[in-house]
Chain A
Amino acid sequence: DVKVTQSSRYLVKRTGEKVFLECVQDMDHENMFWYRQDPGLGLRLIYFSYDVKMKEKGDIPEGYSVSREKKERFSLILESASTNQTSMYLCASSTTGGGGGINRPQHFGDGTRLSIL
Protein backbone atom coordinates (compact mmCIF):
# COMPACT_ATOMS: atom_id res chain seq x y z
CA ASP A 1 0.00 0.00 0.00
CA VAL A 2 1.21 3.49 -0.84
CA LYS A 3 2.03 5.53 2.19
CA VAL A 4 2.42 9.29 2.27
CA THR A 5 3.61 10.50 5.65
CA GLN A 6 3.48 14.07 6.85
CA SER A 7 5.81 14.79 9.74
CA SER A 8 3.31 16.56 12.01
CA ARG A 9 -0.47 16.34 12.46
CA TYR A 10 -0.67 19.62 14.38
CA LEU A 11 1.75 22.53 14.47
CA VAL A 12 1.60 25.91 16.17
CA LYS A 13 4.03 28.67 15.17
CA ARG A 14 4.36 32.42 15.57
CA THR A 15 4.19 35.13 12.91
CA GLY A 16 7.52 35.77 11.24
CA GLU A 17 8.90 32.30 11.97
CA LYS A 18 10.31 30.12 9.18
CA VAL A 19 8.22 26.94 9.08
CA PHE A 20 9.07 23.61 7.49
CA LEU A 21 6.47 20.97 6.61
CA GLU A 22 7.89 17.62 5.59
CA CYS A 23 6.38 14.88 3.46
CA VAL A 24 7.74 11.45 2.58
CA GLN A 25 6.31 8.85 0.17
CA ASP A 26 7.41 5.23 -0.11
CA MET A 27 6.25 4.27 -3.62
CA ASP A 28 8.94 5.83 -5.82
CA HIS A 29 6.42 8.27 -7.30
CA GLU A 30 7.72 10.92 -9.65
CA ASN A 31 5.15 13.59 -8.77
CA MET A 32 4.64 15.21 -5.40
CA PHE A 33 2.23 17.99 -4.45
CA TRP A 34 1.48 20.46 -1.68
CA TYR A 35 -2.06 21.77 -1.18
CA ARG A 36 -3.78 23.90 1.37
CA GLN A 37 -7.37 23.19 2.32
CA ASP A 38 -9.71 25.88 3.64
CA PRO A 39 -13.46 25.54 4.32
CA GLY A 40 -15.56 26.27 1.25
CA LEU A 41 -12.52 26.57 -1.02
CA GLY A 42 -11.62 22.94 -1.54
CA LEU A 43 -7.96 22.16 -2.13
CA ARG A 44 -5.70 24.71 -3.76
CA LEU A 45 -2.38 23.69 -5.25
CA ILE A 46 0.63 25.54 -3.83
CA TYR A 47 3.50 23.78 -5.64
CA PHE A 48 4.17 20.50 -7.32
CA SER A 49 7.30 18.67 -8.35
CA TYR A 50 7.63 16.14 -11.19
CA ASP A 51 11.23 15.15 -10.52
CA VAL A 52 14.07 15.69 -8.09
CA LYS A 53 15.03 19.37 -7.96
CA MET A 54 12.18 20.24 -10.35
CA LYS A 55 9.27 22.33 -9.16
CA GLU A 56 6.34 24.17 -10.63
CA LYS A 57 4.17 26.86 -9.10
CA GLY A 58 0.57 26.02 -8.48
CA ASP A 59 -2.28 28.45 -8.03
CA ILE A 60 -1.20 30.07 -4.75
CA PRO A 61 2.61 29.98 -4.41
CA GLU A 62 3.04 33.40 -2.80
CA GLY A 63 4.68 33.20 0.60
CA TYR A 64 5.77 29.59 0.09
CA SER A 65 8.76 27.75 -1.32
CA VAL A 66 9.54 24.05 -1.74
CA SER A 67 12.50 21.73 -1.80
CA ARG A 68 12.91 18.31 -3.37
CA GLU A 69 16.45 17.04 -2.91
CA LYS A 70 15.47 13.35 -2.86
CA LYS A 71 12.74 11.61 -4.80
CA GLU A 72 10.84 10.44 -1.73
CA ARG A 73 10.83 13.75 0.17
CA PHE A 74 9.08 17.03 -0.61
CA SER A 75 9.29 19.93 1.82
CA LEU A 76 7.07 23.01 2.03
CA ILE A 77 8.64 26.13 3.51
CA LEU A 78 6.85 29.18 4.83
CA GLU A 79 9.59 31.79 4.65
CA SER A 80 7.99 34.18 7.14
CA ALA A 81 4.76 32.78 8.55
CA SER A 82 1.70 35.00 8.65
CA THR A 83 -1.71 34.48 10.23
CA ASN A 84 -3.38 34.08 6.83
CA GLN A 85 -1.33 30.93 6.35
CA THR A 86 -3.24 29.20 9.15
CA SER A 87 -4.74 26.23 7.33
CA MET A 88 -4.74 22.48 6.75
CA TYR A 89 -1.84 21.44 4.52
CA LEU A 90 -2.02 18.23 2.50
CA CYS A 91 0.80 16.46 0.71
CA ALA A 92 0.19 13.99 -2.12
CA SER A 93 2.13 11.89 -4.59
CA SER A 94 1.40 10.19 -7.90
CA THR A 95 3.13 8.23 -10.59
CA THR A 96 3.39 9.53 -14.13
CA GLY A 97 3.01 6.01 -15.57
CA GLY A 98 6.08 6.71 -17.68
CA GLY A 99 4.32 9.33 -19.78
CA GLY A 100 4.74 12.42 -17.70
CA GLY A 101 1.85 14.58 -16.59
CA ILE A 102 -0.17 14.79 -13.41
CA ASN A 103 -3.40 13.13 -14.53
CA ARG A 104 -3.04 9.93 -12.51
CA PRO A 105 -4.65 9.31 -9.11
CA GLN A 106 -2.95 10.94 -6.17
CA HIS A 107 -2.23 9.40 -2.79
CA PHE A 108 -2.62 11.76 0.14
CA GLY A 109 -1.15 12.10 3.59
CA ASP A 110 -3.41 12.77 6.58
CA GLY A 111 -2.57 16.47 6.63
CA THR A 112 -0.89 18.97 8.93
CA ARG A 113 -3.12 21.46 10.70
CA LEU A 114 -0.96 24.57 11.02
CA SER A 115 -1.87 27.49 13.27
CA ILE A 116 0.06 30.76 13.06
CA LEU A 117 -0.37 32.95 16.14
Chain B
Amino acid sequence: AQSVTQLDSHVSVSEGTPVLLRCNYSSSYSPSLFWYVQHPNKGLQLLLKYTSAATLVKGINGFEAEFKKSETSFHLTKPSAHMSDAAEYFCVVSDHLVGSASKIIFGSGTRLSIRP
Protein backbone atom coordinates (compact mmCIF):
# COMPACT_ATOMS: atom_id res chain seq x y z
CA ALA B 1 0.00 0.00 0.00
CA GLN B 2 1.11 3.52 -0.67
CA SER B 3 1.25 6.40 1.76
CA VAL B 4 2.94 9.76 2.06
CA THR B 5 3.68 11.78 5.21
CA GLN B 6 4.66 15.41 5.27
CA LEU B 7 6.34 15.76 8.61
CA ASP B 8 5.62 19.46 9.18
CA SER B 9 2.28 21.17 8.69
CA HIS B 10 3.90 24.61 8.91
CA VAL B 11 7.47 25.81 8.35
CA SER B 12 8.61 29.39 8.89
CA VAL B 13 12.02 30.68 7.73
CA SER B 14 13.65 34.05 7.26
CA GLU B 15 14.18 35.44 3.78
CA GLY B 16 17.58 34.40 2.45
CA THR B 17 17.90 31.30 4.69
CA PRO B 18 17.61 27.65 3.56
CA VAL B 19 14.29 25.87 3.20
CA LEU B 20 13.71 22.21 4.11
CA LEU B 21 10.29 20.59 3.66
CA ARG B 22 10.22 16.94 4.70
CA CYS B 23 8.38 14.09 3.04
CA ASN B 24 8.46 10.34 3.79
CA TYR B 25 6.68 7.80 1.63
CA SER B 26 5.91 4.13 1.43
CA SER B 27 5.19 2.21 -1.73
CA SER B 28 4.95 -1.43 -2.72
CA TYR B 29 6.24 -0.58 -6.16
CA SER B 30 8.96 1.62 -7.58
CA PRO B 31 7.17 4.94 -7.20
CA SER B 32 7.04 8.23 -9.00
CA LEU B 33 7.36 11.15 -6.59
CA PHE B 34 6.38 14.77 -7.08
CA TRP B 35 6.37 18.08 -5.31
CA TYR B 36 3.68 20.62 -6.16
CA VAL B 37 3.22 24.21 -4.97
CA GLN B 38 -0.08 25.99 -4.44
CA HIS B 39 -0.29 29.75 -4.09
CA PRO B 40 -3.44 31.27 -2.53
CA ASN B 41 -6.60 30.84 -4.60
CA LYS B 42 -4.72 28.94 -7.28
CA GLY B 43 -4.44 25.37 -8.48
CA LEU B 44 -1.33 23.27 -7.95
CA GLN B 45 1.79 23.74 -10.04
CA LEU B 46 4.47 21.11 -10.55
CA LEU B 47 7.82 21.96 -8.90
CA LEU B 48 9.71 18.76 -9.73
CA LYS B 49 9.35 15.03 -10.24
CA TYR B 50 11.35 11.84 -9.61
CA THR B 51 10.80 8.91 -11.96
CA SER B 52 13.74 6.54 -11.29
CA ALA B 53 16.41 8.48 -13.15
CA ALA B 54 18.84 10.68 -11.14
CA THR B 55 18.21 10.66 -7.39
CA LEU B 56 18.86 14.40 -7.09
CA VAL B 57 16.10 16.20 -8.93
CA LYS B 58 16.20 19.89 -9.82
CA GLY B 59 12.98 21.81 -10.24
CA ILE B 60 11.75 25.28 -10.95
CA ASN B 61 12.48 28.41 -8.87
CA GLY B 62 15.69 26.98 -7.39
CA PHE B 63 14.06 24.03 -5.60
CA GLU B 64 15.51 20.55 -5.58
CA ALA B 65 14.76 17.21 -3.90
CA GLU B 66 16.75 14.07 -3.21
CA PHE B 67 15.25 10.59 -3.46
CA LYS B 68 16.68 8.40 -0.68
CA LYS B 69 15.37 4.87 -1.02
CA SER B 70 17.03 3.62 2.18
CA GLU B 71 15.29 6.35 4.19
CA THR B 72 12.09 6.34 2.07
CA SER B 73 12.35 10.12 1.94
CA PHE B 74 11.97 12.80 -0.71
CA HIS B 75 12.73 16.08 1.08
CA LEU B 76 12.41 19.41 -0.76
CA THR B 77 15.14 22.03 -0.32
CA LYS B 78 16.09 25.48 -1.49
CA PRO B 79 19.34 27.24 -0.54
CA SER B 80 17.86 30.71 -0.07
CA ALA B 81 14.20 31.51 0.57
CA HIS B 82 12.43 34.32 -1.23
CA MET B 83 9.25 36.07 -0.17
CA SER B 84 7.50 34.70 -3.25
CA ASP B 85 8.09 31.13 -1.99
CA ALA B 86 5.37 31.57 0.65
CA ALA B 87 2.76 28.97 -0.34
CA GLU B 88 1.44 25.47 0.42
CA TYR B 89 3.60 22.56 -0.75
CA PHE B 90 2.40 19.02 -1.45
CA CYS B 91 4.41 15.81 -1.72
CA VAL B 92 2.78 13.19 -3.96
CA VAL B 93 3.46 9.51 -4.65
CA SER B 94 2.03 7.47 -7.53
CA ASP B 95 2.76 4.07 -8.97
CA HIS B 96 3.40 2.74 -12.45
CA LEU B 97 0.35 0.53 -12.71
CA VAL B 98 -2.39 1.15 -15.26
CA GLY B 99 -6.15 1.46 -15.28
CA SER B 100 -8.12 0.66 -12.15
CA ALA B 101 -4.99 -0.47 -10.29
CA SER B 102 -3.37 2.96 -10.47
CA LYS B 103 -2.98 4.87 -7.23
CA ILE B 104 -1.98 8.42 -6.43
CA ILE B 105 -1.66 9.78 -2.91
CA PHE B 106 -1.19 13.42 -1.84
CA GLY B 107 0.40 14.46 1.41
CA SER B 108 -1.54 16.74 3.73
CA GLY B 109 0.58 19.73 2.79
CA THR B 110 3.18 22.01 4.40
CA ARG B 111 2.52 25.71 4.63
CA LEU B 112 5.72 27.68 4.12
CA SER B 113 5.92 31.18 5.62
CA ILE B 114 8.79 33.58 4.90
CA ARG B 115 9.77 36.21 7.47
CA PRO B 116 11.23 39.49 6.11
> Which residues does A use to contact B, with CB under 8 Å?
4, 35, 40-45, 48, 50, 56, 90, 92, 96, 99-111
CA distance A104 to B96 in the complex (A): 9
**Chain A to chain B: the 9 pairs with minimum beta-carbon distance, closest first:** A108-B43, A100-B98, A103-B32, A42-B108, A43-B106, A42-B106, A102-B102, A103-B94, A108-B44
Contact A109 B104 (CB under 8 A): no
> Which residues does B use to contact A, with CB under 8 Å?
9, 31-32, 34, 36, 41-46, 49, 51, 90, 94-100, 102, 104, 106-109
Contact A100 B108 (CB under 8 A): no
Contact B45 A108 (CB under 8 A): yes
CA distance A92 to B44 in the complex (A): 9
Contact A40 B104 (CB under 8 A): no
Residues on A with beta carbons closer than 8 Å to the beta carbon of B51: 103
Residues on B with beta carbons closer than 8 Å to the beta carbon of A104: 32
Contact B99 A56 (CB under 8 A): yes
Residues on B with beta carbons closer than 8 Å to the beta carbon of A4: 43
Query: In the complex, which of the residues B43, B49, B97 has the most CB atoms of chain A within 10 Å of its own CB atom?
Result: B43
User: What are 9 A-B contacts with C-beta separation under 8 Å?
Assistant: A42-B107, A43-B106, A50-B99, A92-B43, A96-B98, A100-B98, A103-B94, A105-B49, A111-B43
Contact B96 A103 (CB under 8 A): yes
Contact A101 B98 (CB under 8 A): yes
Residues on B with beta carbons closer than 8 Å to the beta carbon of A92: 43-44
> Which residue of A is nearest B46, CB measured?
A105
